[in-house]
């Protein structure tokens, strides 16, 4: 009857198997559970399901021949969302399952709204990259991890060359297009576990966890060339865009050195890249204005 109504039905031979099926990441979210079952009874299944820390809610309809108020209360307190007394009318079963589907759909919408709010709270609205606060938080986490695991960490502070000229010549809408395309190319140029954030107006901070000085030059050059290799297609036509980049590797972080001091160091390297012609990478340990000895 359930299959004729459009449900995909998974049956379980006993309560333990039912609990295992419902524990799977892609398991059913709507469960019709008999009270009396081998291995584990219906309330026991309810308790096990509710003890699981899953991202998706499972709606449980308990099917029972027990009619006393005490039994019904026990079933609901065990974690059942609703119950039906056997024998039940098929139309009533359908209606109660439909109620469960509505509740699951509502939960899905609430989860989606929560995730959207969480995303907006940590991401830049224009580029969808991590915002300044979030990227600095991630940087702190990577520094802590590098200290625990004795791993290097590298930073790239990137600035779009002549961005004001782009805005003044082509308009702020085109400037926004450039910022969005730069963001896309930066994400494509780094690993999935690297973090890219919009640090300021046209500045971007990239955190490369586990990247040592030996590999930094290759990574930094890949980022730089990802922007300058091809002009940007905008509503005003093709526009050449390039980045100036300050780069720094922290090999042994000392907690007495603040994030502010580290960022000041890489910012000096960026300044040197701008001053020496733009569209290039300057490494803090090679820059005459500072060194990376952390």
Cα–Cα dist 189/221, whole Å: 10
Tokens at 56, concatenated = 């998706």
- In this structure, is the dihedral angle defined by the CA atoms of residues 262, 264, 265 and 271, taken in order, positive or negative? positive
The count of other CB atoms within 10 Å of the CB of residue 216 is 22
Joined tokens for residue 150: 């004795």
CATH of the domain at 191: 3.30.70.270
Structure tokens given for 273: 């890249």
Residues 199 and 271 in one domain: yes
3-state class of 246 per DSSP?
Answer: strand
Q: Are residues 144 and 237 in the same domain?
A: yes
What span, in angstroms and rounded, lies between the C-alpha atoms of 199 and 203? 5
Known catalytic membership, residue 202: yes
273 and 203 within one domain? yes
For residues 277 and 263, what is the distance between their CA atoms, to the nearest angstrom? Answer: 22
Average pLDDT per 10 consecutive residues for the chain, totaling 294 residues: 87 90 87 88 89 83 79 85 84 89 90 89 95 96 91 95 95 96 97 95 96 93 96 95 96 86 95 95 66 35
Same-domain status, 178 and 85: no
Same domain, 176 and 270: yes
Give which of 227, 228, 234, 223 is closest to 177, Cα–Cα. Answer: 234
pLDDT in tens, 135-149: 999 999 999 998 888
Give the span between the Cα atoms of 74 and 168, in whole angstroms: 71
Q: What is the pTM of this model?
A: 0.72
CA distance 222 to 227: 9
Say if 104 falls within a structural domain. Answer: yes
The one catalytic residue in 202, 203, 214, 221 is 202
The domain total for the chain is: 2
């Amino acid at each position: 009857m359930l299959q004729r109504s459009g449900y995909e039905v998974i049956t379980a031979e006993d309560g333990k198997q039912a609990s295992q099926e419902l524990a799977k990441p892609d398991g059913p979210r709507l469960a019709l559970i008999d009270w009396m079952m081998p291995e584990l009874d219906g309330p026991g299944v309810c308790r096990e399901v509710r003890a699981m820390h899953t991202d998706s809610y499972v709606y449980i309809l308990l099917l029972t021949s027990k009619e006393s108020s005490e039994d019904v209360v026990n079933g609901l307190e065990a974690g059942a969302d609703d119950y039906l007394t056997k024998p039940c009318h098929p139309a009533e079963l359908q209606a109660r399952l439909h109620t469960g589907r509505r509740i699951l759909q509502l939960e899905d919408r609430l989860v989606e709204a929560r995730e959207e709010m969480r995303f907006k709270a940590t991401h830049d609205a224009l580029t969808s990259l991590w915002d300044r606060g979030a990227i600095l938080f991630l940087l702190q986490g990577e520094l802590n991890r590098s200290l625990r695991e004795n791993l290097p960490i590298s930073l790239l502070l990137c600035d779009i060359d002549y961005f004001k000229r782009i805005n003044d010549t082509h308009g702020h809408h085109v400037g926004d297009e450039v910022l969005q395309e730069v963001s896309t190319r930066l994400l494509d140029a780094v690993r999935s576990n690297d973090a890219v954030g919009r640090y300021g107006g046209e500045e971007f901070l990239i955190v490369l966890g586990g990247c040592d000085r030996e590999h930094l030059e290759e990574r930094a050059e890949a980022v730089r060339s990802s922007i300058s290799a091809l002009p940007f297609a905008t509503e005003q036509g093709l526009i050449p865009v390039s980045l100036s980049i300050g780069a720094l590797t922290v090999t042994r972080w000392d907690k007495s050195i603040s994030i502010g001091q580290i960022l000041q160091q890489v910012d000096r390297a960026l300044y040197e890249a701008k001053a020496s012609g733009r569209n290039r990478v300057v490494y803090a340990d090679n820059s005459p204005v500072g060194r990376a000895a952390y």
